[in-house]
Each structure stands twice: as structure tokens, then as C-alpha cells.
């Protein structure tokens, strides 16, 4: 939703769901961990009545632990935190599950995947950033495709979603799906042409991913 029209955010939620979106990915940025500020739990709470789809809340904030309860209460279904934002990743993931929410962990492009090794049994989702977090509309970092494949091998048969966020379009969707990603976040590629094209854009990205999936 970072690429949506913030002046009509509730309507944008309804429009993109009607166009076929499976989840709503909400990027929360604090101007500290990342160089931008978006919104907080009250906006998540305000959007919750607009859709019963999964609210996939990606917290790009530090410190993160003091804010988990607020986002859980606001209506997040999945709360994803960065491995880079604090020293106690295991504790933070346990806290999310203790709030009754699904727990996700994400890593920036320069972070190696081995930071996930000891928490894989405590997460429901792994998110690979294929751009540097902080702004929408960035170019896809191709070096992350191999990382996605390595993480898919690490996950093995665990019931963990492997999500990709950053520069996803019809071309890059094929690359990440072929590497093993099963959940794709698309912003600019969906919203850039306005509501009349949301359904077409979603369908084309989905078709490209399905065609290339393992």
C-alpha cells in the first residue's frame, strides 16, 4: 500500500482487493531505521474495516518491541520485523506469537541468510527485501535471487511463506518465483496507472509468477 494514493487510502484498499489482491502489505517506516516516515498503528486500525483480507504489516522501525502490542491491537494479521533492528530477534518473534499473530522476519539486501538459521521454527513468514528498505519505486537488486533460492532450501518442508518485496513486476516475478518465492509484494507495478488497471496489473504479475514457479 506504500504506492497507493494516501489521500484516499481506504478506497484504495477496497479497490485493490476488488481487483484481486490476496493480502494487503502495510509498510510502517519510522524515519530512524529507514529514511522515511509512513504511518503508525492508528492508520492500520482505520483501514481494518475496509477489508477482511490479511493485513501483512511490515515494521521497518527500531526499537520494534515496544510497538508490537499496538499493531496487534490495530488489526495486523502478520507482523514482520527486521532481523537488523535489535539484538533479541528470538524474543521479539515469541512476543508476536504471544499476541496471537503470525510472526515474520525480514532481512535487508546486505544481510546474509544465516541470521535466520536459529529462528526458522518460530516464524510463519520470511521476507526477502529485493531493494533497500525506505522508499517505494526502487529497482530490483538481482543478487537477491540466489539468496531467495538458498532460503527456500533452508525452509525445506516447514510451513513458512517465502515473501519478496521490492521492484516486483511481471519480469522480476518470474525470477523470484523460479527461485522459490511463493508470496509477492507489488506496489508501484500495481498502482502506477490508476484504479482502472489494478486488476490487469495484478493478474499479469500473478500469471508470470505461476508460470515460473518451482
207 three-state secondary structure: helix
The residue behind cell 477482511 is: 52
Helices 9-18 + 198-212 axis angle, to 10: 50
- The DSSP string of 106-166 is EE-TTS-GGGGTTTGGG-SEEEEESS-TT-SSPPP-TTHHHHHHHHHHHHTTS--EEEEES
Query: Is 65 tagged catalytic?
Result: no
Catalytic residue chosen out of the listed positions 5, 15, 27, 30? 27
Catalytic residue chosen out of the listed positions 15, 30, 56, 165? 165
CA separation for the pair 22, 183 (Å, rounded): 10
Judge contact between 99 and 105, C-beta under 8 A.
no
153 three-state secondary structure: helix
* Alpha-carbon torsion, ordered 164, 168, 169, 173, to 10 deg: -30
Please report which helix (H) or strand (E) contains residue 12, including its range. Answer: helix 9-18
Query: Is 27 tagged catalytic?
Result: yes
| 43 C-beta neighbours (distance < 10 Å), count | 17
CA separation for the pair 167, 162 (Å, rounded): 16
Residues designated as active site:
27, 165
Amino acid at each position: 500500500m506504500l504506492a497507493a494514493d494516501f489521500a484516499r487510502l481506504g478506497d484504495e484498499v477496497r479497490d485493490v482487493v476488488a481487483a484481486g489482491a490476496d493480502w494487503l502489505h502495510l509498510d510502517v517506516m519510522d524515519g530512524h531505521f529507514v529514511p522515511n516516515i509512513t504511518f503508525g498503528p492508528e492508520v492500520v486500525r482505520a483501514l481494518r474495516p475496509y477489508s477482511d483480507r490479511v493485513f501483512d504489516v511490515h515494521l521497518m522501525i527500531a526499537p520494534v518491541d515496544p510497538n508490537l502490542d499496538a499493531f496487534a491491537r490495530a488489526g495486523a494479521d502478520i507482523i514482520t520485523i527486521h532481523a537488523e533492528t535489535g539484538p533479541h530477534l528470538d524474543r521479539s518473534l515469541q512476543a508476536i506469537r504471544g499476541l496471537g499473530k503470525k510472526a515474520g522476519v525480514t532481512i535487508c539486501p546486505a544481510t546474509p541468510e544465516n541470521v535466520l538459521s536459529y529462528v526458522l521454527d518460530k516464524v510463519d513468514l520470511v521476507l526477502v527485501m529485493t531493494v533497500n528498505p525506505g522508499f517505494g519505486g526502487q529497482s530490483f537488486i538481482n543478487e537477491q535471487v540466489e539468496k531467495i533460492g538458498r532460503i527456500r532450501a533452508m525452509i525445506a518442508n516447514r510451513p513458512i511463506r517465502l515473501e519478496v518485496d521490492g521492484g516486483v513486476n511481471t519480469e522480476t516475478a518470474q525470477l523470484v518465483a523460479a527461485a522459490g518465492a511463493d508470496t509477492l509484494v507489488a506496489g508501484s507495478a500495481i498502482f502506477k496507472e490508476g484504479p482502472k488497471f489494478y486488476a490487469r496489473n495484478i493478474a499479469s504479475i500473478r500469471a508470470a509468477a505461476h508460470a515460473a514457479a518451482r
